[in-house]
């Protein structure tokens, strides 16, 4: 028996693949949410914070330099 040119087996396979993909997507979203909500991941250590501050200072200095030249 065919429905819209597809066999019942094709429809069952597509349904199973769809269910697995949706389940994986939901699992991935939950894991990502748990990782992002972990406060230890939000904090930068001293080296990272220092390099971020240095990078910001360099960016501000570059913007000021370019504005002063124009």
**Token couple for 39:** 């406060």
What pLDDT is stored for residue 18 in this prediction? 93
* pLDDT for the residue numbered 16: 93
With H, G, I as helix, E, B as strand and everything else as coil, classify residue 33: helix
pLDDT of 64 higher than 90: no
Share of the chain above pLDDT 70, in %: 63
Q: CA geometry: angle at 49 spanning 53 and 36, to 5°?
A: 125
**What are the percentages of helix, strand and coil residues in the chain, rounded to 5?**
80, 5, 15
The residue count of the chain comes to 70
So what's the pLDDT on residue 20?
92
Region 1-29 average pLDDT: 84
Query: Tell me, what's the pLDDT at 63?
Result: 79
Contact 59, 53 (CB under 8 A): no
Q: Give 26-52 pLDDT, tens digit per residue.
A: 888 887 777 676 655 555 555 555 565
């Amino acid at each position: 028996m065919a429905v819209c040119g597809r066999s019942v087996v094709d429809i069952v396979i597509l349904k199973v693949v769809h269910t697995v993909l949706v389940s994986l997507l939901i699992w991935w979203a939950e894991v990502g949410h748990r990782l992002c909500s972990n406060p230890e991941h939000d904090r930068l250590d001293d080296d990272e914070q220092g390099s971020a501050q240095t990078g910001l200072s360099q960016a501000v200095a570059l913007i000021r330099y370019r504005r002063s030249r124009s």
